[in-house]
Chain A
Amino acid sequence: MWPIDRVRRRLLHKDPLPEALLREQTLSRAVTNTSLPTRPQPTHTPILLTHIDRDRTLIAACCERARSAGIVHAMPLAEARALLRQAPHVEPFSPDADARGLIRLARWAYRYVPRVAIDGTDGLLLDATGCERMYAGIDRLLRVLAGKLVRAGIGIRLAAAPTFGAAWAVAHFGSHNLTLVRQPELATVLGGLPIAALRLSALTLDALRAVGVERISELRALPRASIAARYGSETLLRLDQAMGSAIESIDAVQPKWPIRVERLFDGPTDRLDSITLAANGLVEMLATELTAKHRGTLSLRVELIRSDLEPVFILIRTSRPCAEPRHIWKLLAPKIENAHLGFGVEGVRLLVLCSGQLRDTQGKCWADDEAHPPERSRLLDTLAARLMPERVLRPMLLESHVPERAVALRPALSLPAIAPPAFGPTALGLQTNKPLRPAHHKRPNPLSPTSTAPGYPGMLERPTSLLSEPLPITVTLLLPDGPLVMFGSASRGGASHRVIACHGPERIAGEWWRHSASSPTRTVTMQCESGGAVATARTRERDYFRVQTDDGRWVWIFRESALKTQSAQNGPAGSSDRWFIHGEWA
């Protein structure tokens, strides 16, 4: 089961599939002795792959263990869980990833045979013509392949035969996992196999079985003309392809070689300038190669091969495909300078780990129209290279009525481009607004009238800056439930402000579904918490007022009170009310 094997491998080695196989030949001396992992430990966790069909989670594939527990294809997941004693590993079935993995496996196979093609969703066709000599016989090649694959944890059925058709038939319907069929025995072996081994359409198979033809030998016994008249020439073609009397061509996978450049010195050197020079030259070479392929690097690994020491790996990531040598160098240079050279460097190697299609751009003329101009991504790359990617953040708009939840900081490199207004110097933690209280830093508020991101109610009245934590204040009311007259800081007394205008209230009840304790059954993750008022948001609601103080500033203050239930609805503002200041209009 290719999908299961793929997932199991990933679970066991934390390694995308044929990477381990690839490493063996393409990596440098230093890692060649990292031998392949031996036969994978059979995981004790059953593996289930699921797909969702009309709101139901069904099993798309399952491992041997699960199957022996009685789990079958298209069984609902909950039922499958009930059959298993232990909790299985469950993940969505991904035909795309399987297909990609298969292509990589096919490319790996190129090291043994000259031509490889993909067969269906879980098979490879290897054209080993002329390879007998190299391996001293096809049977040895089979054993080599089988050994490698089994050790890599891939369940296989291998067959070699004079024709693709016969090899396919024996691999799928033969009685052994490893079969070699030679020309003389071809007809006998094929004859005993069911007609399904001929790769015929389900319709044809059905029609043939209806008249009692089950085996290939029975089909061959029929007059050829009768077969053609009844079941089409394709049936004959498949038969002939298997028997070797018709030619079959395969659609070979294009081999793909990694984009890499390297330069080995005559001997170890610890001269930084020559290393830098070599690296710079390699960057130029790489850029030329990338440009020729119309690709740009997204993730680039630079290796400084040190004598008697492990190589230094430097990882360069960019926010968009990049093939500009200057930009790459700008990101790389400081890191080389800081690298520990040990007893000397023997060579430099650049390997593109991940690349993307280069996008044609218009140059200067309309550059402004772009939501995410190249200058900014270059800046982002540089900042990320210097400060670590996870430290470069960008504010995001979130849909929430609770003001402090309406914005969140996310790593900038991982986000898609968004509209400019939410992006500015402040995003990097710099402060532009003069703080009301120096002790608290403020966040820019994307919901303030200046931000008009689509999909947000444009009329929401939000202050230009929001305190990261609401500040308790004391207020003076004319009546228990009457207008607001004065407020002042609760903690340090003194400075109090007279209210000359007051708008409101805007009542915001908490997001009641957020519970303080998260539970294992929830898939929703909690947003990063900030602000002391959040924990109580569930049971309390806030009345926000926009007030003008006597010195002309507009500030946003709120009263937090217990959520009004039916019994308390008519009552005056309770004594449990607390007042806070939450923001200010610039």
Chain B
Amino acid sequence: MPDEPPGKVRQHPMRLLLPTMREPDPAQHKPASPAEHLYAELQVTSNFTFLTGASHPDELVRQAAALGHCAIAITDTNTLAGVVRAHVAAKDTGIQLLIGCRLVFTDPAQPSVLVYPTDLAAYGRLCRLLTVGKRRAPKGECHLTLDDLLAHQQGLIAVVLLPNPSASTPTDRSSARTLEALNELRRAFDDDRLSLALSIHHRHDDADRVQRTASFGSNLRIPLAVTNDVHYHTPERRTLQDILTCIRHGCTLEQAGFRLHPNAERSLKPPAEMHRLFREHAAALARTPLIAQRCKGFTLDQLRYNYPDEVVPPGVASMDHLRALTASGAAERYPDGVPSDVQSQINHELGLIAELNYAPYFLTVHDLVRFARSKSILCQGRGAAANSAVCFCLGVTAVDPSRSTMLFERFISKERDEPPDIDIDFEHERREEVIQYLYAKYTRDRAALTAEVVSYRGRSAVRDVGKAMGLSLDTVDALAREVDWWSQSPNDPHKLTAIGLNPRDPHLRSVLVHACTLMGFPRHLSQHVGGFVITRTPLCELVPIENAAMEDRTVIEWDKDDIEALGMLKIDVLGLGMLTCLRKCMDLIADSDGQRLTLATIPSEDPATYDMICAADTLGVFQIESRAQMSMLPRLRPRRYYDLVIEVAIVRPGPIQGKMVHPYIRRRNGEEPVLFASPEIERVLGRTLGVPLFQEQCMALAVAAAGFTPGEADQLRRAMAAWKRSGQALLKFERKLIDGMSERGYSAEFAGQVFQQISGFSGYGFPESHAASFAILVYASCWLKRHKPAAFATALLNSQPMGFYQPAQIVQDAQRHGVEVRPIDVNHSDWDCTLETSIGEGGGGGDAGSRQDGERAHGTAKHAIRLGMRLVTGLSEAHALALVVAVRRLKVSPDGPGPVPGTGPGPGTVRSLEGLWRATSDTVPIVALRHLARADAFGSMGLSRQAALWSLQRLHDEPMPLFDQRIDEQAGREDRASAAVLPLPTPFAEVQADYARAKLSLRAHPLSFLRDELEQAGVTPCATVNEPEQCPAGRQVSVAGLVLVRQRPGTASGVVFITIEDETGIANLVLFAKVFERFRSVARHSSAIVCTGRIERAGQVVHIKAQRLRTLEMRASDISLKSRDFH
């Protein structure tokens, strides 16, 4: 039901989880060690070296700070992906963080090198070096050589890791090459910047290794530096590290053998312990703080984000340019003069933009929108900043500030220095053009997509841990499937017992404990759906850029939280199917009626459109087409734009779980008084009748009623988003909220209620700013459906797959609204569905209800939908287009194959199958024609499906040597003669064949053939269920139908909603979890079902509460096609 809100509602929980869950207990640790025990850990592998490090970067940093290290480096293998998280933690704790990286070269003989930049320029070079390595490798890999490092070495400090001699027996050859590499490094980095890593891990060969390293150092005159090759922040994580090693190698712990580390020594050790271990290597110890000291010249805070400047004409200040564009845009939007309140809002916004220096950002967005317009790609911005008056003038959004009564409170928040937030939706089929435009305009060095850190979630974690710990695949399956990983206690003994596992089994408990720790570990980097980072200076000097799995995409290593932490800006370039549909629809209208509509010119606040919405006649429109939305519409009865904004936001898990839906409806219908506890609250909740429905309102409520600072309110928002992963974070705010409210004189009861509402938003709350943009599209699609039903249905069919409904329902819906739908036909169909002028008046228009008829009569010309070949299963677009071209050529060419006498129904059509086949045999395989024949697309040639297939079956891809009309004619006679022997298909079989090939039939509904049979079985038609006289609430009925939609909303505690359809209409089934479990296979797999249950009514909404289900056998004939099983 509540579909996931598109866009950016989910927040990365990482920073949020930190203070509550992972803070090391200070009591455990000794205070910072005395000055003589100076030590900085230089070799640290975090979990961003995927499946190797067993601690989060921030855990490592916090632990190092707690142990009293003077500094810590994060050196993941060939990546900087984890450094921002470490940086944030380091800023919190005050420890110095060395940004670093462990460079592993493709040549195994070249020793790995740890590098640390000493200044901003060196950091830029390091990023560039990694970018070079990553761009030449497939996704997730980095191919580097020593020469690459030498080319970028300036300003870097390096620590060389000698290859482990015991890993493989060192041959003379490989050690000679190691020596050579060391010499080269020494030449490039003089001994001042180069060190040799010295570590002791209590392995059997420690003495040898230390000896060997020391002798290398003294022979080559490279000073030593102590490291501990840290893989986890406490020794307790060793077990998890072992598991990670197993996951990496795809083995179990039993099989892992020597791939595991023998002991737990790779943790962060207290400086005193390091000094004790290396008491004989004082110089090597002393070198670590020295290196840290020299890297003090660089922190991530120095990174400066620069807006691109191409968007400003040379010699013009960006702010002036923005002012000019806004002014000209405003003049265009308001030809009669800009209203004064809009003008004052524009001035206010421009002032803010100037103050915060965001002009280049708005200009960049404007440039993107301008490009899309020039390619006639439909787009619309959303988000708080997008719904500003400036953006309306710039054409970014169609939300007219003068038309709506909304207050945009969160345009840009000055106090929080929060960057403006604009997501732009483009047509989903053409978003790639926009993305490639960005890459082309700003080059790949300066523009890249944001990464998305794909992390272990409950199921994936238990799956991998379970496998590594040797659980059987079934057990792992059962654990992953049955255990509710989001609940507060995933290892609830009752649940384990329920799936047949022993909760006291130590091994199983160990699996669960490790799985819980693994949750949140990064697994790999993926690309964000559309977040672009664009810079003026090379982006690859800010952050390494790598190839994405998709071709032609490049991605930075940081995710949106990371770049937000560093104050970098991103623009979300998203794809939206409805925009594609709207554009296609407006194009169709322009072609057929000559009327050019845009989102802004669609007549606003049209009562007929709202009538249709109130009647829940919204199949196919944007957002409010789902079951849940449709059942809400008659209750909410939207009559104006803002009602749609609410409608979009209200049917979401957030408001539903916060139990805000019913209070709102009651207040709206006047069944409950609208009361406000105080004027502050009325200011916040006034327009939603005192019920918080939007995410912004929750935050504003916290500020207004509980005295939160805007910063705290923002944390609250993040806590709400991340609640499922860390309930504790939200609980922390509960105290504060309730205390704050009682201080301000609100009753404790009211405070509890407010908190209840806010925590309800933890699922998904929908921001008002996004709902406002969506509501525009909702209105536009409804208007088109109401006034241009043929064009709208055609555009919808051409934008599939999209939305909730199948082509069959869209077509039926169009037919119900009096639109003539014509079958697929080789002579008339294009690839896409098209509009044809309707010849007859009748055409089934009479049944569509009175209100449409009256209006359509004096409307524009009536159109019929010609179904396109895209509906034919198995047919490729290229073949269809070739066929369309050939048909057009044959129609005009005078010397085309002559008509077969007596069959063709009219002029201007191709009438011979052979002729078509000959004309297309080099471009279209016979299979494509057969696909069309199965879809019964040769009607205009006078061929039935059967006849066309029968004739086509004779033809093959090898062309006949000669064109001889007599042979063709003879063959045609033979075809007709032999086809006469074929058994005649029943109408039911024809309909089934239609469904098999085009997923719809214009003949009849398949269930109409079974009606007699069904009536005998006591099955009620779906339409009858809606009539209260015949089917009062509580009566037991049976209904049958094809399954249209199955939904199992996360908020409905296992309840499954199924919509079925018969020839009379649709029926809505509700399956409670028990019923669903009992009839699981029917409920999940059958395409046609018979359901027995009780009728439930709530207003106009009718459900059938299912009690029993069975599969409806849809047999065309009595013959069994399946072989019997041997039994």
Are B1123 and A196 in touch, CB under 8 angstroms? yes
Are A563 and B949 in touch, CB under 8 angstroms? no
User: Which A residue sits closest to B974, measured CB to CB?
Assistant: A226
Shortest distance between the CB of A109 and any CB in chain B (Å): 16
Are A520 and B470 in touch, CB under 8 angstroms? no
Shortest distance between the CB of A237 and any CB in chain B (Å): 18
Are A57 and B982 in touch, CB under 8 angstroms? no
Q: Which of B202, B954, B1126 contacts A156 (CB 8 A)?
A: B1126
On chain A, the residues within 8 Å of B678 by CB distance are none
- CB of B1120 within 8 Å of the partner chain: yes
On chain B, the residues within 8 Å of A567 by CB distance are 28
Are B272 and A570 in touch, CB under 8 angstroms? yes
Bound-state CA distance A90–B475 (Å) is 13
- CB of B345 within 8 Å of the partner chain: no
Are A55 and B982 in touch, CB under 8 angstroms? no
Are A509 and B254 in touch, CB under 8 angstroms? no
- CB of B354 within 8 Å of the partner chain: no
Bound-state CA distance A508–B477 (Å) is 34
Q: Mark B1084-1127, 1 if CB is under 8 A from A, else 0.
A: 01000000000000000000000000000000010111011111
Are A212 and B506 in touch, CB under 8 angstroms? no
- CB of B958 within 8 Å of the partner chain: no
Bound-state CA distance A57–B480 (Å) is 13
- CB of B666 within 8 Å of the partner chain: no
- CB of A230 within 8 Å of the partner chain: yes
Bound-state CA distance A223–B273 (Å) is 95
- CB of B474 within 8 Å of the partner chain: yes
Most chain A beta-carbon contacts within 10 A, residue among B165, B208, B482, B978: B978
User: Which A residue sits closest to B233, measured CB to CB?
Assistant: A566
On chain A, the residues within 8 Å of B983 by CB distance are 212-214, 218
Are A519 and B506 in touch, CB under 8 angstroms? yes
What total of chain A residues lie within 8 Å of the partner, measured CB to CB? 79
Q: Mark B502-535, 1 if CB is under 8 A from A, else 0.
A: 1001111010000000000000000000000000
Q: Which of A90, A461, A523, A564 contacts B235 (CB 8 A)?
A: A564
B187-195, B256-264, B382-390 - interface stretch: B256-264
- CB of B965 within 8 Å of the partner chain: no
A73-81, A97-105, A128-136 - interface stretch: A73-81
Asked, given contacts A78-B478, A214-B1119, A543-B202, whether A508 binds B1126 with beta carbons under 8 Å apart, the answer is: no
- CB of B572 within 8 Å of the partner chain: no
Q: Mark B258-276, 1 if CB is under 8 A from A, else 0.
A: 1010111101011011000
Q: Which of B945, B993, B1081 contacts A70 (CB 8 A)?
A: B1081
- CB of A423 within 8 Å of the partner chain: no
Are B949 and A522 in touch, CB under 8 angstroms? no
Q: Which of B239, B260, B508, B954 contacts A519 (CB 8 A)?
A: B508
Shortest distance between the CB of A45 and any CB in chain B (Å): 16
Bound-state CA distance A509–B1085 (Å) is 51
Shortest distance between the CB of A255 and any CB in chain B (Å): 24
Are A512 and B239 in touch, CB under 8 angstroms? yes
Most chain B beta-carbon contacts within 10 A, residue among A55, A64, A70, A507: A507
Are A522 and B478 in touch, CB under 8 angstroms? no
Query: Within B154-174, which residues are at the interface with A (CB < 8 Å)?
Result: 165-167, 169
- CB of B911 within 8 Å of the partner chain: no
Are A515 and B473 in touch, CB under 8 angstroms? no
- CB of B30 within 8 Å of the partner chain: yes
Q: Which of B269, B949, B1080 contacts A569 (CB 8 A)?
A: B269
Bound-state CA distance A172–B239 (Å) is 57
- CB of A157 within 8 Å of the partner chain: yes
- CB of B472 within 8 Å of the partner chain: yes
A306-314, A385-393, A397-405, A426-434 - interface stretch: A397-405
Are A172 and B1124 in touch, CB under 8 angstroms? yes
- CB of A408 within 8 Å of the partner chain: no
Are A515 and B950 in touch, CB under 8 angstroms? no
Shortest distance between the CB of A351 and any CB in chain B (Å): 33
- CB of B579 within 8 Å of the partner chain: no
- CB of B236 within 8 Å of the partner chain: yes
Asked, given contacts A210-B934, A564-B235, whether A223 binds B481 with beta carbons under 8 Å apart, the answer is: no
Shortest distance between the CB of B7 and any CB in chain A (Å): 32
User: DSSP majority for the A interface?
Assistant: loop
On chain B, the residues within 8 Å of A215 by CB distance are 1119
- CB of B953 within 8 Å of the partner chain: yes
Most chain B beta-carbon contacts within 10 A, residue among A157, A519, A520: A519
Asked, given contacts A172-B1124, A401-B258, whether A213 binds B982 with beta carbons under 8 Å apart, the answer is: yes
- CB of B244 within 8 Å of the partner chain: no
Are B1125 and A1 in touch, CB under 8 angstroms? yes
Are A459 and B235 in touch, CB under 8 angstroms? no
Query: Within A204-239, which residues are at the interface with B (CB < 8 Å)?
Result: 207, 209-215, 218, 221-223, 226, 229-231
- CB of B966 within 8 Å of the partner chain: no
- CB of A458 within 8 Å of the partner chain: yes
Are A2 and B1127 in touch, CB under 8 angstroms? no
- CB of A457 within 8 Å of the partner chain: yes
Are B202 and A212 in touch, CB under 8 angstroms? no
Shortest distance between the CB of B548 and any CB in chain A (Å): 23
Are A515 and B507 in touch, CB under 8 angstroms? yes
Are B257 and A400 in touch, CB under 8 angstroms? yes
Are A57 and B236 in touch, CB under 8 angstroms? no
On chain B, the residues within 8 Å of A122 by CB distance are 1126
- CB of A565 within 8 Å of the partner chain: yes
Shortest distance between the CB of B993 and any CB in chain A (Å): 8
On chain A, the residues within 8 Å of B982 by CB distance are 211-213, 218, 222
Most chain A beta-carbon contacts within 10 A, residue among B166, B234, B258, B954: B258
Shortest distance between the CB of B128 and any CB in chain A (Å): 39
On chain A, the residues within 8 Å of B166 by CB distance are 457-459
Are A521 and B953 in touch, CB under 8 angstroms? no
Are B506 and A515 in touch, CB under 8 angstroms? yes
Are A507 and B502 in touch, CB under 8 angstroms? no
Q: Which of B28, B258, B265 contacts A399 (CB 8 A)?
A: B258
- CB of B32 within 8 Å of the partner chain: no
Query: Within A479-516, which residues are at the interface with B (CB < 8 Å)?
Result: 503, 505-509, 511-513, 515-516
Q: Mark B377-397, 1 if CB is under 8 A from A, else 0.
A: 000000000000000000000
User: Which A residue sits closest to B165, measured CB to CB?
Assistant: A459
Shortest distance between the CB of B20 and any CB in chain A (Å): 20
- CB of B960 within 8 Å of the partner chain: no
On chain A, the residues within 8 Å of B478 by CB distance are 78, 81
Q: Which of A56, A70, A461, A511 contacts B204 (CB 8 A)?
A: A461
Q: Which of A456, A506, A516 contacts B258 (CB 8 A)?
A: A456
Query: Within A538-578, which residues are at the interface with B (CB < 8 Å)?
Result: 541, 543-544, 563-567, 569-570
On chain A, the residues within 8 Å of B950 by CB distance are 211, 230
Asked, given contacts A172-B1124, A515-B507, whether A541 binds B501 with beta carbons under 8 Å apart, the answer is: no
- CB of A524 within 8 Å of the partner chain: yes
Are B265 and A507 in touch, CB under 8 angstroms? yes
Are B273 and A523 in touch, CB under 8 angstroms? no
- CB of B973 within 8 Å of the partner chain: no
- CB of A155 within 8 Å of the partner chain: yes
Are A523 and B263 in touch, CB under 8 angstroms? no
- CB of B1012 within 8 Å of the partner chain: no
Most chain B beta-carbon contacts within 10 A, residue among A81, A226, A541: A226
- CB of A517 within 8 Å of the partner chain: yes
Shortest distance between the CB of B1070 and any CB in chain A (Å): 22
Shortest distance between the CB of A220 and any CB in chain B (Å): 10
Shortest distance between the CB of A371 and any CB in chain B (Å): 22
Bound-state CA distance A508–B201 (Å) is 11
Shortest distance between the CB of B16 and any CB in chain A (Å): 24
A-B contact pairs, 21 of them (CB 8 A): A1-B1125, A55-B473, A57-B473, A172-B1123, A210-B946, A211-B953, A214-B1119, A221-B981, A222-B978, A458-B169, A459-B165, A461-B204, A508-B262, A515-B507, A520-B502, A522-B470, A523-B470, A564-B264, A569-B270, A570-B270, A570-B272
Other contacts beyond A211-B949, A566-B29: 7, CB < 8 A = A81-B478, A210-B949, A218-B982, A523-B470, A523-B471, A564-B235, A570-B272
What 8 pairs across the A-B complex have the smallest Cβ distances? A399-B257, A507-B202, A519-B505, A230-B953, A524-B470, A401-B262, A506-B204, A78-B477
